[in-house]
Structure 1
């Protein structure tokens, strides 16, 4: 039983089908409708899918990354991140930038006729030596040999394992939207980030004439958690920024802009309880700075499916999966948090020092930092 039909849950359902497990998926939402945002499936995520022979047509559904640039707020170039070049050098799949809805559609096709029950909000579980029972808010129950909580940062399955625990607020809001958009300064296949004082903006080509953009701005935890501003506030926040930044905001209908707080959780050491475990954001929610949230959920799913397929004992297989994934995910959570702090700097001196360090980073140094990040570590039993 997979609790949650997000990227991690659907990838796991597809992966488990590949290794001949019967799967049922239970989702809190009453309809499967991906939010209007985008993401990157970096080379490690693509390699993980290939490891189980899962072809969901990423390159057709999204846009292969061709260049990744960092600029200042006015659009002056700071540096390129040579992610495509490094992936090519290592013989890895390309990074694909894709809308969340297009990725969801590919995963839904991969899960085929797997039963997906909507409107099923998990509230807790009971575990026993040969399986587990999940309780839902409407009073119903469902039983499985194993239960995987893939129900996101506010996971009910995690809450029972850990007890009450706070989310960690990063102190800024994220505005997100997808819109048809083109601009002379924004080439096909590009991802461009713009770094200002305590705020950022990103333009990402997700293919098919669509651009995903995000903006961030430091503010109080309370306001970020429940931002109720207007599009005009966002327009004013980026007044004087690069023309393409202002243009992307201008052409976006206010109703299509999503606002969410930047938050993660302190890293969890224990993911499992008997025949129950966690996956993706339920286990290790992270900030978006390393663009590895989706990649880690995909890796988790592939490793869990592969490990269970080779395990003689299901409970032991769950613990083996957790042991394989713990340190890699810890590194991503902490790395995303550290990069976020650098990206959101307000102090002019610190920002200048950061930008100069970026300008001085050589390809060799970048490759040394990113080689392991972009490489799927495989399945080990």
Structure 2
């Protein structure tokens, strides 16, 4: 049983289908649709899927971005980080894709599994050698294994590790996808604009669509309860580069999604017995690396490979967790540290940040990016 039909849950369903494991998905939403805007499906996720023979045709569904431009708030270049040659080395390119497109591709790969909507998991317990999950509507379901892919507020995680408080660095994230083209935003364009205490990302999604995101420092409680609109965002980016202002101005209020920046410290224990976690339920991270979706996809592939032909199911889950723990812990730590640098608000901090990025040797930039973009193919030996 998979709880959650987001990117992680559907990736797990498709990966498990490839190794002959039947799945049943339970989703708390009343309809099956992808919430959110767009995302990066980085090379490591694509290579991971290829290990199971899965090709989601994401280059047709989205847009390859061969490089990432870093600019000041007014659009002056700071540095361009090139990804294409790293993609050639690892065997795939980074792709920007709308979450809905990726959702549909993963659902097709999963092969129309049983999906029960309106099923909000509340608790689980062991039952006749398996797992029984109880739902908010009073119903229950039984299975051999339970995979908690139910996101940041995971009910499965809460029962496994107890109540937790998220880490909230104190900024809001705005996200939107809009049908709009600017003459500076050409095919494959991807750029981050850095201001003091706020940033803006602008990515061409293919055709006439662009994806943008913005951040702004504010108290955590304000970020949690932000209810402004496009005009407030426009005011926040007044005086920024023309393509930034024009893209926000072309966005309807209803298209803007607001989420507070938050993550959680890495867990030492992801599961118990026939229960485990996957994706944001296991390792929610700040968006600074653009690796959240990729980590969920990697999880799904490693989980499937550990379960393929397994007779000791809890043992297979522990192998999966052992294989994923160090890499996801490093990603959480990197994203958290980078976020602090990206959101610096003081003039001195802003100046130091730009100087560091401009003069950091290319070999070091490539080394760090290559480590992130390389899917670690090895699995722990059975019995470890």
TM-score by length of 1: 0.98
Structure 1, gaps ≥5 residues long: none
Residue 267 of structure 1, CA deviation: 1.4
For 1:330 and 1:2, how far apart are their aligned partners in 2?
23
Moved over 2 A (4+): 127-130
Equivalent residues in 2 for 1:124-163, closer than 5 Å: 124-127=123-126, 130-163=129-162
Q: Following the alignment from structure 2 to structure 1, what is the Cα–Cα distance between the partners of residues 372 and 128?
A: 36
| 76-85 or 145-154, larger mean C-alpha shift | 76-85
Task: Name the counterpart of 2:81.
Answer: 81
Deviations 1:175-210 (A, max 9, x none): 111001211221210111100010000001122321
2:183 and 2:255 map into 1 onto residues whose CA distance is 23
Listed one character per residue, the Cα deviations across residues 298-353 of structure 1 (whole Å, up to 9, x for unaligned) are: 00000000011043311100001000100000000010011111110001111111
- Residue aligning to 2:57: 57
* 2:63 aligned with 1:33: no
Aligned to 1:3: 3
Kept in 1: contact 2:41–2:97 (CA 8 A): yes
Question: Does the 8 A contact of 1:62 with 1:208 survive in 2?
Answer: no
Equivalent residue number for residue 14 of structure 2: 14
Q: Equivalent residue of 1:167, what SS?
A: coil
CA contact (8 A) 1:36 1:178 kept: no
- The answer to whether structure 1 residue 43 and structure 2 residue 38 are counterparts is no
CA distance in 1, matches of 2:75, 2:121: 46
| CA distance, structure 2, for counterparts of residue 37 and residue 170 of structure 1 | 22
In the aligned structure 1, how far is the partner of 2:309 from the partner of 2:322?
A: 15
Distance 1:266 1:67 in 2: 30
Q: Deviations over 1:262-321 (max 9, x none)?
A: 111121111101100000000000010000000100000000000110433111000010
Q: Which residue of 2 aligns with 1:239?
A: 238
Work out whether residues 176 and 257 of structure 1, in 8 Å CA contact, stay in contact via their aligned partners in 2.
Answer: yes
CA contact (8 A) 2:45 2:375 kept: yes
TM-superposed CA distance for 1:379, in Å, is 4.5
Moved more, 141-150 or 356-365: 356-365
The 1-side partners of 2:242 and 2:184 are apart by 9
Alignment of structure 1 residues 164-175 onto 2, 5 Å: 164-175=163-174
The corresponding residue for 2:227 is 228
Structure 2: how far apart are the matches of 1:379 and 1:121? 35
The structural deviation recorded for 1:41 is: 0.7
Unaligned stretches of 5+ residues in structure 2: none
Residues 65-76 of structure 1: pairs in structure 2 closer than 5 A: 65-76=65-76
Counterparts of 1:323 and 1:92, CA distance in 2: 25
Q: Distance in 2 between matches of 1:161 and 1:302?
A: 23
Matched, 1:276 2:275: yes
CA shift, 1:168, in A, is 1.2
Shift of 1:127: 2.4
Quote the residue 2:259 is aligned against.
260
- Aligned pairs, number: 380
RMSD over aligned CA atoms reads: 1.1
